[in-house]
Amino acid sequence: MRKKVIEAIEKNKIIVILRGIREDELIPLAEAMYNGGIRLLEVTFSADNPASDEKTAEGIKKLVSHFGDRMLIGAGTVLTERQAELTKLAGGKFIISPNQNTALIKKTRELGLVSIPGALTPTEIEAADRAGADFVKLFPASVLGSDYVKAVKAPLSHVKLLAVGGINEDNMRDYLRAGICGFGIGSSITDKALISGRRFDRITALAEKYVSALRRA
């Protein structure tokens, strides 16, 4: 299964980040993005409220149950091994973190999940890869830009990098040409005003815009 998840990330390239979404909004929001061509979703844990971990896991389980094989669901802002375990129990397929944590990477691999830790410097990127990461999330990508990606990829060409932070439909091509193999995209698609207004048709349109930009890149 891990191989299939890795291949799906490489093929579809866009992982949409769901952060702070209400339970009653979760399925219609995810369906709207599915209709727009999105096939990968990340449901984030709350770093400042560990008590909500079970609730986050329930959201992942709900999405997994609803979509089956139509979409791959994973967890984001995973900082602890317990959160990785909850994700596994909920049926999630990948673990995304903002940082490089060797113990968490190894635990993720033990659980049979795809590991995507965050890093910024060459030292952090190489350490994550050496620990067993399947992809490394370059975060925050926009702080240093696509030229930085190109420079980092020269000596670390074997590492699969995902760009997260400040990615939009206008700069995706630059990052792909620099060596990025995928993206994490959040508020640009999960517009809170549209969600609260239940304008899920607009969410679908935003998703389509990003998918189309990717195809043109």
The closest alpha carbon to 18, from 185, 162, 199, belongs to: 185
pTM (two decimals): 0.96
Active-site entry in 13, 62, 88, 137: 137
State yes or no: is 160 an active-site residue: no
State yes or no: is 42 an active-site residue: yes
Domain boundaries, the chain: 2-216
**Which spans in the chain are helix H?**
2-12, 23-35, 53-67, 81-90, 102-110, 122-131, 141-153, 172-178, 192-196, 200-216
Q: What is the pLDDT along the chain (217 residues), one digit of tens a residue?
A: 899 999 999 999 999 999 999 999 999 999 999 999 999 999 999 988 877 999 999 999 999 999 999 999 999 999 999 999 999 999 999 999 999 999 999 999 999 999 999 999 999 999 999 999 999 999 999 998 999 999 999 999 999 999 999 999 999 999 999 999 999 999 999 999 999 999 999 999 999 999 999 999 8
Supply angle C-alpha 73, 115, 90, rounded to 5: 35
Tokens of 69: 């094989």
Query: Is the CATH number 3.20.20.70 carried by domain 2-216?
Result: yes
Rounded to whole angstroms, how far apart are CA atoms 119 and 117?
Answer: 7
Active-site entry in 42, 62, 107, 126: 42
